[in-house]
Structure 1
């Protein structure tokens, strides 16, 4: 029997109405189910467990929420390499595969083996202060280095390997994956990239220069960003806009392709370009 975990964004399904319907369908179709919450459903194949046990024991994870929910789960799953089926309870839904009305057809396809796995590259960002590694963050969309609330530009120097790329005076700098090319990077003027490609994008945010443009970098290169020693305003690093920390002058951020990727379950024939056309036409 297939083992499936369910991660639910409680703000999107407060009373577990959608979650319960999905759990009942899974149990009726001989799946073993792992979930964090007591749904008051009694079945020997329904297990209430913590998140780590759910991620490690499941053959795949159903994520109920929007793209933001998937971003958080993707970082948690980096250690486990467990596939995700994203169910859209949000608005935009670039990453989520299935609309709620189609969930049972998709689960039937998975039960019958009619699906494929799509790999999405992720980023690993190591922060160094002097000679010591301070923190490590993972991101599916982007790593953003940006100014604080004071209206001061950040001063950043970018290297690819040991090669100087440019010095930036800007509101910030984005290092994005192909998946992230339709997120913050798009708003900052970056290109749209097919999400299954393996590359990185360096995009300045509101640079104080007419020459600064997005740079496309091979995925086997290392990007190094250094905070200028003269920086006197606050600077922050965020991963997917959801977690991060404050940086100090002369901190260095080493950004590489993560060893593991996000594995998305695809159960329909919609292409990225179908999604792009439908999602962007009203923006």
Structure 2
């Protein structure tokens, strides 16, 4: 039973705020302590004590879309604190609970009827002149791509310290299985079952059509070196954190030691999710 819970809700979303307040009252009636009630979004910031409150919770309830879930996952930072995702948006691949099923699902979860799924995260390091200048943690993906100029870039692909190829493309996506249904899917990459271990390497509009997505084991290390002098090229983590890159910068990606833990309804059918979210089987 969860006794201490944090509630995070999508900022500037009246429905999410109103629903979060109702959930807070529901928890109070269940004698569950709400240790933090806070918005998540581009303009929301967390001080040290707020982060510590979240990281001391037994569980975190997140009301929003997948973007809100991604932000919450990075705040939890790999601690074994399960996330209860309530979909307040449209698609919602990571937010398992639909708003229409909210109270029934909460009753089941807080009576102990739930599964916890362990999801892989990725670690990304940026090297410049052989020094680490930044390090990031993500649940979905990292993307290296250009800004507004439609110009192809060169990327040296190195896997486990072995040179593979210099790839000409609009950009590169490296995604986790959880992120395989995000940008990776739009770029022609494969769908991976979300609890698999590994990474997907997917070029964005490669110059050579034979350069295809590759699924790699979870103990492989992927290095990408920016080998063309293209202005406005960025590393983006989960579509939310951006960092400008320069020629000869090296981005190293691996499966992180940290994990994200998601609460799923008992008997949840992932292929039903694909049917409902991606319209599989529709004519």
Query: What is the TM-score when the length of structure 2 is the normalising length?
Result: 0.91
Distance 1:186 1:19, change over 3 A: same
1:247 maps to 2:248 = no
Aligned to 1:263: 261
Aligned to 1:281: 279
Aligned to 2:45: none
Aligned to 1:26: 27
Shift of 1:135: 0.3
Residues matched between the structures, number: 272
Distance 1:87 1:50, change over 3 A: farther
Shift of 1:13: 3.0
Residues 179-198 of structure 1 aligned to structure 2 (within 5 Å): 179-198=178-197
Q: Is the 1:115–1:266 Cα contact (8 Å) retained in structure 2?
A: yes
Report the secondary structure of 2:149's partner residue. coil
Aligned to 2:6: 5
CA distance in 2, matches of 1:166, 1:268: 44
CA distance in 2, matches of 1:166, 1:150: 24
**CA offsets 1:235-278 (integer angstroms, 9 cap, x no match):** 11000110020001111111011111110011242211110111
CA distance in 2, matches of 1:232, 1:102: 48
1:99 maps to 2:98 = yes
CA distance in 1, matches of 2:9, 2:85: 10
1:175 maps to 2:174 = yes
1:83 maps to 2:82 = yes
Report the secondary structure of 1:54's partner residue. helix
Report the secondary structure of 1:150's partner residue. coil
Aligned to 2:43: none
Q: Is the 2:16–2:88 Cα contact (8 Å) retained in structure 1?
A: no
Report the secondary structure of 2:199's partner residue. strand
Structure 2: where are the runs of 5+ without partners?
40-47
Shift of 1:156: 0.5
Residues 103-114 of structure 1 aligned to structure 2 (within 5 Å): 103-114=102-113
Report the secondary structure of 2:60's partner residue. strand
Distance 1:213 1:9, change over 3 A: same
Residues 39-118 of structure 1 aligned to structure 2 (within 5 Å): 51-118=50-117
Distance 1:37 1:254, change over 3 A: closer
**CA offsets 1:34-88 (integer angstroms, 9 cap, x no match):** 22359xxxxxxxxxx9531331221000000001110111111115331100000
Distance 1:15 1:262, change over 3 A: closer
Distance 1:175 1:12, change over 3 A: same
